[in-house]
Structure 1
Amino acid sequence: MPKDLIHYGGWEHRDLHNIYGLTFHMATAQGLKNRTESPRRHFVLSRSFFAGSQRYGAIWTGDNTATWDYLAITTPMLLALGISGLPFSGVDVGGFTGNPEPELFVRWYQAGAFQPFFRGHSDCDTMDTKRREPWIFGDPYTGYIRDIIKERYSLLPLWYTLFYEASTTGMPIIRPMFVVFPDDEKAYEMDDQFFVGNSLLVKPIVEGQTSTEVYFSENEIYYDYFTFEKIHGPGKIRINAPLNKVPVFLRGGSLIPKRLKIRRSSSAMHLDPFTLVIALNENGEATGSLYLDDGETYNYEKGYFVYRQFKFSGGKLASTSLSLLDNDKNIHAHSINSVQVEQIIILGFDSNLLITKDWTIELLKQ
């Protein structure tokens, strides 16, 4: 409709246009919640949204094209949505229309694996867009895509924790550099790299290249996520990025939870053990958290969840409960009583391999 069309009550269409998308999203989500006696959490995805849509489900940026230019604008779009209060967002990985070359397709999956909503989607029912399931491209490309999807699955505990924290604090899940380093003036100019939470620095490759410059803010330690190589900031450093690798770095002082068993689905990981990756800062310290609930019901509103903070300091790892209920009253805590931390990987700890009765700790000298 024309933007100056007048609706009932004297409202111009420009003020109301996106409210349709919001209310449609709202009604669908509420309908799904009401349709059973024991409500289950809904998943409603929309590409028409407005302020408030974050309360009802995920969003994506709409039809894009399988070109390098569209991949490049993915990061700034999603960062802008996140700081606007819409944290659960993503794009059509691989591009909706067109036929991506294998290199572009791999790079898009590598970028998408570190975005809140991760989905391959295309207009493959038309004559001008061919099918593009990952296995169609063949090796080595299929193998590269498989590897990054596995990495996404292993990091689901971190993503779920960040989603919980976004829902309670409003902090975006993926964050522009200036959100993490507000005192760094250079960080305000950057929209081609970002943080997942405050722990993972990601620089997607968005053109045909095998190296890129990554900006490391402030005088901090970083660790290559895949090789554990230590890197010192501040400033730009040229990083090798062959087609099988996306530049990702653990910020010193962070602790992230992972699940390393390979499964067919996230639900099959429900009782799998955890690995804690601890990236020490200059002071030999690191902190992180882990949030768990049943992933299906609204029992978390009753306090039935597990929320723990981990802190490594002085050579010791401490775990503190942030849950609302004691374990003896916490239904969800009882249901996952068998889940353990089976491995701890410490980066930057200058010692020999330590094995204790309760923990296996891999101490990697870098």
Structure 2
Amino acid sequence: MRSLRVVLWVISLGFLFAMNGQANYTFLGHLLKYQRIDSGILLFCEGDVRLEIRFLKPEMFRVTLIRPGDREPLLEYPLAKTAWEEVDLQFQEENLNLILASKDIDLVIHKYPCRLTVLDKQGTVINKDDPGLGVGWEGNEVRCWKSLAPGERFFGLGEKTGDVNKRGREWVMWNSDIPGYNHETDPIYQSIPFYIGLQQNKAYGVFFNNSYRTVFNMGAGNRRYASFAADGGSLDYFFIYGPQISRVVSTYTELTGRITLPPLWGLGYQQCRWSYFPESEVLNLARTFREKQIPADVIYLDIHYMDGYRVFTWDKTRFPDPAGMLRKLREMGFKVVTIIDPGVKADTNYTVAREGLSGNHFISYPDGEVYVGEVWPGPSYFPDFSSPETRRWWGQKLSGLLDAGVAGFWNDMNEPAVWGRAFPLEAVMDDGGRYSSQKKMHNLYGFLMSQAAYEAFRTHRPNRRPFLVTRAGFAGEQRFTAVWTGDNVASEEHLELGIRMMLGLGLSGVPFVGTDVGGFIGTPSPELFARWVQVGAFSPFFRAHTHYNSRDQEPWSFGEEVEEISRKFISLRYQLLPYLYTLMWEAAESGSPPLRPMFWYFQEDPTVYDHAYQQQFFFGEKLLVAPVTREREYLKKVYLPEGKWLDMNSEAVYQGPGAFVVEAPLDRVPMFLREGGILPMQEAMQYLGEKTANSLLLEVFCTEKYANLLHYEDDGETIDYTRGKYRLTQFEYLKERDHWSFSKSRVHDEWGGGERFLEIRFHAAAKEPDRITLDGSALEKIAAAETQRPGYFYDSAGKILTVRFAEAGKEQSLKIKP
């Protein structure tokens, strides 16, 4: 305690001497008095300004600035959870400080002036207000300055370009339609005002709960501070302590919400272009996938399926029988997802426009005149999705497409985009009767449009999982929709940028993400397309897409070699679906994204932050992927952190930490199974539901390290899993003194999935075993071709032991005597 007091005394002196400067900003002044409140404290400062601090969890507290005359309520849209249990706090007052201590952190409140410092329980400074600046305001602008520590790193901020580490740049939150963006472009389509800071290998998070145009300065142009500011609204932020990055993301997604499990087919391969038409071309596309035996589940219809770009209509010349076409596609195993743009053609002969006008469903100017903007249909109205009535009306229109057989919706142009890129700031939306301008509502528009579509599914298909993908959005959108990274470019740079953007979105609470495979603008070379498909195979959202009048960009469009490579890796995607589906369940349970940067697990390893390795990523906990992102690159330098790693291509075992060069011909992506890893796989299929998977393959890396897998399964279609209708199976491997053991145990089993054959492949098995028993009974040695017969066989060249047996009952146990 004495050392902590010395630290606080030194910090407090710094705050005391920092208040002599003058500026146009008004800064939070001295603390005059305080009042204890439930799980927190209310601070009364000079100028009749208050600061409310309330702990929501031992590792999370909320800070709200209350100025005289503040009338605008705090933002509610992003927050999924608002009721929290009381947090036990210890309170202490000293001459210069107040201290609120939870079991995880100590929050020091400096009195002169009023500033905050967060310490861990060892007295290490995790985060602190800048002594001279702290919190300030100028007119409607509010801002918070945080001291910038040497070597401090920043991650997240949603869908941002640049490097994974966001330090050294200023980032703006203002949803913008910017096709063909590059490494430096900002802002683009999404606004997620949440970042993760890391200093001294300890992580924290800050969520700025404000939808106005916000600016995050992460040490841009200065070495003193990082700051976040908004043009209006409240200074209202949540501070989250880790110290693990994974815990920060978990707590943040507890606050802003987690995904609903997508339908299993939504994790399959998806084919899109601007645009597939007429009907005969769409059906021919589907037949070609099946003839060529390239797996696929989804075909998209872009804006040309509509009648004059009128949303909720069909062009009767191009698509004379939509329901019939959709039925034929379903018979071939395809789902169809249609684009939905928010712009409603301003045409009084158009039913949707008439209903929208009569129902007051459109955005208007403050004087009541309905706003008209130019977009694809020409002059258009824009629905006010902040109104529950408008969302219900929109949902009724979406239900007509669902009734016709459409399976999901692709919400586009919802920044909202208009020609001229200047949606009027003075235009107002209902916002719960507050009639707020676009200064507040602009960044929320895509979020609210996604909410409308999600609610349409819940109302009109109550037991069916929604499938939605959006271009624009805001914090908390993960509750409703998947996200793709917008109109990218067919280039190596964009392939790499897309990986970094997916990692950034995952760190920002959005796990269901992907890029336009092959690039939307321009034409990829055959080699670049092949490499992009390889990355897509590990992306949660896996869709190829291209621009209007571009060259064909289907998997067979680049020659026989690339067709075969595409078939191989799309098939691999389907083989990996038991693993990916389990990862999506983890995202729904804890917020952990399927794609994870290396520092997710190796936070204290300085090399994992190296610029050269920022395109490597973990696919779940145990599989490290190091994709090739440059043409004519057939050797790949990879970094493997501490531990043993199995090269899934060569069966070589590497000891980390260290950099290694591995072969990476065009038909190979370097990937490594981490020791302790169990990787579940299945046989490939042409589409989800084509056949029942009657076997489960488990890839096990045999080391001295304990290995386990908690494998999740359900029906993949309904929301019955929320009522307990699912299966959880624990698989465990342990190397004991004189044998290996492998066990299966049903943790939860209320899903009606049948039993199946298990095939377990033990990699790096040094020699053929003397004896293997299953629940005490010996297994026979069999031939590799005997796929449905219990037993085992050993591949001495690859050092792989394969054991096969039928599942039976809740528990089974293998013992392998080397």
Query: TM-score over 0.5 for the alignment?
Result: yes
What secondary structure is seen at the aligned counterpart in 1 of 2:529?
A: helix
Shift of 1:12: 6.8
Q: Counterparts of 1:227-242 in structure 2 under 5 Å?
A: 227-242=650-665
- Provide closer, same or farther for how the CA distance between residues 254 and 15 of structure 1 changes in structure 2, counting only shifts above 3 A: farther
Residue in structure 1 matching 2:449, options 1, 17, 24? 24
Give the aligned residue type for 2:456: G
Shift of 1:88: 0.3
Residue in structure 2 matching 1:245, options 647, 668, 682? 668
Shift of 1:52: 1.0
Matched residues in 1 for 2:599 and 2:670: separation?
19
Shift of 1:165: 0.7
Residue in structure 1 matching 2:757, options 320, 326, 340? 340
Matched residues in 2 for 1:180 and 1:361: separation?
35
For the pair 1:258 / 2:258, whether they are aligned, the reply is no
String of CA shifts for 1:127-179, please: whole Å, max 9, x gaps.
Answer: xx111111122221111111111111100000000000111011111100100
Which residue of structure 2 aligns with residue 50 of structure 1?
Answer: 474
Of 146-155 and 12-21, deviating more is 12-21
Matched residues in 2 for 1:269 and 1:316: separation?
32
Matched residues in 1 for 2:713 and 2:564: separation?
31
Which residue of structure 1 aligns with residue 585 of structure 2?
Answer: 164
Matched residues in 2 for 1:15 and 1:246: separation?
45
For the pair 1:309 / 2:733, whether they are aligned, the reply is no
Which residue of structure 2 aligns with residue 33 of structure 1?
Answer: 458
Shift of 1:337: 1.9
Which residue of structure 2 aligns with residue 71 of structure 1?
Answer: 495
Shift of 1:39: 2.0
Shift of 1:267: 1.6
- Provide closer, same or farther for how the CA distance between residues 90 and 24 of structure 1 changes in structure 2, counting only shifts above 3 A: same
| Contact 2:526–2:559 (8 Å) recurs in 1 | no
- Specify every segment of 5 or more residues in structure 1 that has no aligned partner in the other structure, as ranges: none
Which residue of structure 2 aligns with residue 349 of structure 1?
Answer: 765
Shift of 1:205: 1.1
What secondary structure is seen at the aligned counterpart in 2 of 1:137?
A: coil
| Contact 1:346–1:361 (8 Å) recurs in 2 | no
Matched residues in 1 for 2:745 and 2:443: separation?
43
| Contact 2:682–2:693 (8 Å) recurs in 1 | no
What secondary structure is seen at the aligned counterpart in 1 of 2:578?
A: helix
What secondary structure is seen at the aligned counterpart in 2 of 1:18?
A: helix
What secondary structure is seen at the aligned counterpart in 2 of 1:17?
A: helix
- Provide closer, same or farther for how the CA distance between residues 12 and 240 of structure 1 changes in structure 2, counting only shifts above 3 A: farther
Matched residues in 2 for 1:106 and 1:248: separation?
16
For the pair 1:61 / 2:477, whether they are aligned, the reply is no
Give the aligned residue type for 1:158: Y
For the pair 1:121 / 2:537, whether they are aligned, the reply is no
Matched residues in 1 for 2:745 and 2:791: separation?
17
For the pair 1:91 / 2:515, whether they are aligned, the reply is yes
What secondary structure is seen at the aligned counterpart in 2 of 1:150?
A: helix
Residue in structure 2 matching 1:193, options 607, 616, 621? 616
Cα RMSD of the aligned pairs, angstroms, is 2.2
Matched residues in 2 for 1:362 and 1:173: separation?
33
Matched residues in 2 for 1:227 and 1:267: separation?
32
What secondary structure is seen at the aligned counterpart in 2 of 1:289?
A: strand
- Provide closer, same or farther for how the CA distance between residues 188 and 222 of structure 1 changes in structure 2, counting only shifts above 3 A: same
Give the aligned residue type for 1:49: G
Matched residues in 2 for 1:362 and 1:307: separation?
30
Shift of 1:321: 2.6
What secondary structure is seen at the aligned counterpart in 2 of 1:349?
A: coil
Matched residues in 1 for 2:473 and 2:511: separation?
12
Shift of 1:75: 1.0
Residue in structure 2 matching 1:181, options 558, 583, 602? 602
Give the aligned residue type for 1:35: H
Shift of 1:16: 3.0
For the pair 1:203 / 2:614, whether they are aligned, the reply is no
What secondary structure is seen at the aligned counterpart in 2 of 1:236?
A: strand
For the pair 1:280 / 2:702, whether they are aligned, the reply is yes
Shift of 1:14: 5.1
- Specify every segment of 5 or more residues in structure 2 that has no aligned partner in the other structure, as ranges: 1-173, 177-212, 214-230, 232-424, 773-778, 781-789, 801-818
Query: How many residues end up aligned between the 2 structures?
Result: 350
| Contact 1:271–1:338 (8 Å) recurs in 2 | no
String of CA shifts for 1:2-41, please: whole Å, max 9, x gaps.
Answer: 95645575967454322110110011011022113x5211
Matched residues in 2 for 1:234 and 1:284: separation?
16
String of CA shifts for 1:160-218, please: whole Å, max 9, x gaps.
Answer: 00000111011111100100112212213342101001111111111111112100011
Which residue of structure 1 aligns with residue 715 of structure 2?
Answer: 294
Matched residues in 1 for 2:793 and 2:706: separation?
16
Give the aligned residue type for 1:101: S
- Provide closer, same or farther for how the CA distance between residues 276 and 17 of structure 1 changes in structure 2, counting only shifts above 3 A: same
What secondary structure is seen at the aligned counterpart in 1 of 2:567?
A: helix
Give the aligned residue type for 2:701: A
Matched residues in 2 for 1:360 and 1:258: separation?
18
- Provide closer, same or farther for how the CA distance between residues 192 and 12 of structure 1 changes in structure 2, counting only shifts above 3 A: farther
Which residue of structure 1 aligns with residue 558 of structure 2?
Answer: 137
Which residue of structure 2 aligns with residue 318 of structure 1?
Answer: 743
For the pair 1:365 / 2:799, whether they are aligned, the reply is yes
| Contact 1:64–1:92 (8 Å) recurs in 2 | yes
What secondary structure is seen at the aligned counterpart in 2 of 1:234?
A: strand
What secondary structure is seen at the aligned counterpart in 2 of 1:140?
A: helix
Shift of 1:361: 6.0
Shift of 1:95: 0.4
- Provide closer, same or farther for how the CA distance between residues 293 and 287 of structure 1 changes in structure 2, counting only shifts above 3 A: same
Shift of 1:359: 5.3
| Contact 1:346–1:362 (8 Å) recurs in 2 | no
- Provide closer, same or farther for how the CA distance between residues 20 and 274 of structure 1 changes in structure 2, counting only shifts above 3 A: same
Query: TM-score, length-normalised on structure 2?
Result: 0.41
Query: TM-score, length-normalised on structure 1?
Result: 0.89
Matched residues in 1 for 2:607 and 2:435: separation?
45
Shift of 1:232: 1.7
- Provide closer, same or farther for how the CA distance between residues 295 and 361 of structure 1 changes in structure 2, counting only shifts above 3 A: farther
- Greater strand content: 2
String of CA shifts for 1:69-123, please: whole Å, max 9, x gaps.
Answer: 1111011100000010000000000001211110111011011111111111112
Matched residues in 2 for 1:17 and 1:271: separation?
46
- Greater helix content: 1
Q: Which has the higher contact order (CA 8 A, sep 6+)?
A: 1
Identity of aligned residues (%): 35
Shift of 1:270: 3.5
- Provide closer, same or farther for how the CA distance between residues 40 and 104 of structure 1 changes in structure 2, counting only shifts above 3 A: same
Matched residues in 2 for 1:87 and 1:361: separation?
39
What secondary structure is seen at the aligned counterpart in 2 of 1:79?
A: helix
Matched residues in 1 for 2:606 and 2:436: separation?
41
What secondary structure is seen at the aligned counterpart in 1 of 2:608?
A: helix
Matched residues in 1 for 2:493 and 2:439: separation?
29
Matched residues in 2 for 1:214 and 1:361: separation?
32
Give the aligned residue type for 2:692: H
Residue in structure 2 matching 1:214, options 638, 657, 663? 638
Give the aligned residue type for 1:111: V
What secondary structure is seen at the aligned counterpart in 1 of 2:666?
A: coil
Matched residues in 2 for 1:69 and 1:272: separation?
41
